[in-house]
């Protein structure tokens, strides 16, 4: 299972299409990747739209609730590292480089600051594209 799939599993209910797509047979397999050409560092990766019948998941409320119980200050709204820590996922540079590969990052992974900003935006956009309620200011 990929890192984006792990994020979806932490935030969406098991019956949610994003989780089912990431784990179609109930097994720990990686989500199928869209056939998307290499995008530039600022380009978004295509994600299939979520059906209108899916109940949106209030990602902000869930993450804020997790933050209240975290016992440490984590700024999930701007930091991919803090977001991953809040979700109890590996936030190491290697894990973030793996997430960058999953999301087709074409920038320099040695420039971790730029990569981290791009990753945070992409993850927020993926959550929103898959039925997560995410504030507009976190998508741009």
Whole-model pTM: value is 0.77
Q: What is the pLDDT of residue 26?
A: 45
Vertex 136: Cα angle to 38 and 138 (nearest 5): 60
Q: Please identify every stretch of the chain with a pLDDT value under 70, giving residue numbers as ranges.
A: 22-53
Q: Which helix (H) or strand (E) holds 96?
A: helix 93-102
| Nearest of 44, 41, 64, 34 to residue 133 by alpha carbon | 64
Q: What is the pLDDT of residue 53?
A: 62
Pair of tokens at residue 85: 């820590």
Q: What is the pLDDT of residue 23?
A: 56
């Amino acid at each position: 299972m990929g890192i984006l799939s792990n994020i979806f599993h932490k935030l969406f209910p098991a019956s949610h299409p994003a989780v089912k797509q990431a784990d179609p047979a109930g097994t720990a397999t990686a989500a199928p990747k869209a056939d998307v050409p290499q995008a530039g560092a600022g380009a978004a990766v295509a994600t299939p739209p979520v059906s209108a019948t899916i109940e949106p998941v209030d990602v902000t409320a869930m993450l804020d609730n997790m933050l209240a119980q975290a016992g440490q200050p984590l700024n999930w709204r701007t930091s991919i590292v803090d977001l991953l820590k809040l979700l109890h996922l590996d936030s190491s540079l290697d894990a973030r480089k793996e997430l960058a590969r999953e999301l087709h990052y074409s920038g320099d992974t040695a420039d971790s600051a730029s990569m981290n900003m791009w990753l945070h935006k992409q993850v927020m956009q993926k959550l929103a594209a898959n039925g997560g309620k995410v504030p507009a200011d976190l998508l741009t």
